[in-house]
Homo-oligomer: A and B are copies of this chain.
Amino acid sequence: MANQFDALLRRLSLKVTPKRLAILEILAAEPIYLTPEEVWTRMKRKSTRAGLPTVYRNLEELSACGILIKIVHPDRRLYYYFCPNDHHHHHFVCISCRKVEDLNFCGLDSIDREVRKSLKGAVVSHLMQVYGRCKECLAG
């Protein structure tokens, strides 16, 4: 199996195309949230040229089936995509270098309990992003 994502795509009955593999390789290579356009630029560098709409479509598809995580930038109206290697979806995002680090802490259990108890509602999903500066950016 030339590529680690080959089997993953097949399992999800998505065709294994050079574009899809390139996108996944780029995102798997750096633990950073990238915009569709940044992924596209990196593809050109790797001489896997693709149309921007293709990049958008694939990122959307791959995040829809759970391979990638998609977030919105809270200030600019942009989508960012990230390839997590584990299943923990809470991140510390450095506002300088955009590096992503995992947060071991997840307060969702307490939140779920709180919503159920005092609001009598039901939690469907949640979004938690913590922004700051990472160790390296604080030093530099």
* Residues in A lying within 8 Å of B, measured CB to CB: 71-74, 77, 79, 92, 94-95, 101, 103-105, 107, 110-111, 114-115, 118-135, 137-138
Q: Which of B114, B128, B135, B138 contacts A105 (CB 8 A)?
A: B114
In the complex, how many angstroms separate the beta carbon of A10 from the nearest chain B beta carbon?
Answer: 28
Q: Is the CB of B124 within 8 A of A127?
A: no
A115-B126 Cα distance, complex, nearest whole Å: 20
A132: contacting residue among B101, B103, B124, B129, CB under 8 A: B124
B115 touches A130 (CB 8 A): yes
Copies of this protein chain in the complex: 2
- Taking CB atoms, residues of chain B closer than 8 Å to A129 are 126-128
Q: Does A131 contact B135, Cβ atoms closer than 8 Å?
A: no
A111 to B77, CA, bound (A): 26
CB of A120 within 8 A of CB of B138, answer: yes
**Given known contacts A74-B72, A111-B103, A131 and B121 CB-to-CB distance under 8 angstroms:** no
